[in-house]
Amino acid sequence: MLKKIILSLLGIIVIVALLGTFVGWYLSVPVSAPEQARMQKAAHYADNKFANPEGQSSWEFSVRNLQLAFFGEGKQEKPASAIPVVSVETESFDHAPEPGLRYLWLGHSSVLLEIDGVRVLLDPVLSERVSPFSFAGPARFHPSPIPLNELRGIDAALISHNHYDHMDEATLRHLAKDGTRIFVPLGMAPLLQQWQIPDAQIQSFDWNEAATVKGVRMVATPARHYANRGTFDYKETSWNSWSILGPEHRVFYSGDTGASLQFAKLGEKFGPFDLGVIKVGAYGPDQAWLDVHMAPEDSVQTALDVQASVLLPVHWGTFDLAYHAWDEPAERVLQSAGDAGVTLVMPRPGEWVEHTALPSVDTWWREVD
């Protein structure tokens, strides 16, 4: 009897492993020959992989990390009540934005910018889940402030890397039908082509390459992270931050990243920035995590490095993707920014911020718990 049970369990393990391998292979994205030719010329590409010039630590195998991975840390990883979402009036999307700088946080890393007459979306993810499956995977804590079918009038969508919480198929397909240009890191264009997005609307960028939309220059700049959609395409496509340079205003978007010496160089080259949209959440318990997902204190230092006048913290408050409490990044960045004298904006999802009239920080997340 015991032998049958053991054999049955082994059979289940083998089936799950084979199924997982197949799914991982299926989700991995092949890169086309023309894109491969461009990748070979990239300074941070070698041995058929992209790399972080500053390196990164290996994951530490320990009982502590396994415990965190499977059981968490006993912290409140999801909000106890509804997050206050401001519904966005979408009528203004039918015409070009006014001059100046205004922005709203859609949740996680998705931010809508109106900069010097151009409407730009950063890592737009409006779907319910960040997953290859519609029925499984991390679900939103709150609805999108803009329903996907009302999203329109976007000049450009800037993608930092291809992880599911930053590059959403449904959102990008919708934007493409409205004529939005989609800018991605090197190696990612073939995936958009698979999604039947017209080639004329796709442009891929190596670090320091740029495109101009209605007078606003968008530069793909370095970050310290990684990319993959499946199991077998790890680091086969690139990742980046974005420096958005208008005639009157400048915005830096970190994408996902660890702390990096590159950011001070970007500040010297393109700064000062009026706004730094910088990730603060989904950091982990060891250096392997921190090398690619910086903690809030590093995020504040990054704002100083790039010479950002104002810090908008992102990559928190929408999905359960880390070991820490859902609102811990907000508390830590609030404390750190105060200590460093960095101006902070922390709007509710969907709340417009006029850069000429910055609101004081309202700790709305404390009311949720």
pLDDT digits (tens, 9 = 90+) for 89-133: 999 999 999 999 999 999 999 999 999 999 999 999 999 999 999
Separation of alpha carbons 243 and 261, rounded Å: 16
Separation of alpha carbons 49 and 41, rounded Å: 12
Q: Which CATH architecture has domain 91-368?
A: 4-Layer Sandwich (3.60)
Q: What 3-state class would DSSP assign to 55?
A: coil
99 within 8 A of 117, measured Cβ to Cβ: yes
Kindly report, residue by residue over 211-266, the tens digit of the pLDDT: 999 999 999 999 999 999 998 999 999 999 999 999 999 999 999 999 999 999 99
276 within 8 A of 308, measured Cβ to Cβ: yes
- Other Cβ atoms closer than 10 A to 184: 25
* Per-residue exposure over 5-23, b if at least 16 CB sit within 10 Å of its own CB, e if not: eeeeeeeeeeeeeeeeeee
Separation of alpha carbons 327 and 165, rounded Å: 18
288 within 8 A of 60, measured Cβ to Cβ: yes
Query: Domain ranges in the chain?
Result: 91-368
Low-confidence ranges of the chain (pLDDT < 50): 7, 13-22, 24-26
Residue 273 is given by DSSP the state B
pTM of the complete model: 0.91
* CA angle centred on 290, ends 288 and 252, rounded to 5°: 135
Q: How far is CA 111 from the centre of its chain?
A: 10
189 within 8 A of 182, measured Cβ to Cβ: no
- Where on the phi/psi map is residue 314: left (φ > 0), alpha (ψ -120 to 50), or beta? beta
State the pLDDT at residue 106.
Answer: 98
State the pLDDT at residue 29.
Answer: 65
Residue 139 is given by DSSP the state B
Alpha helices (runs of H) in the chain, residue ranges in sequence order: 2-27, 33-39, 63-71, 169-177, 189-194, 262-270, 287-290, 296-305, 328-340, 364-368
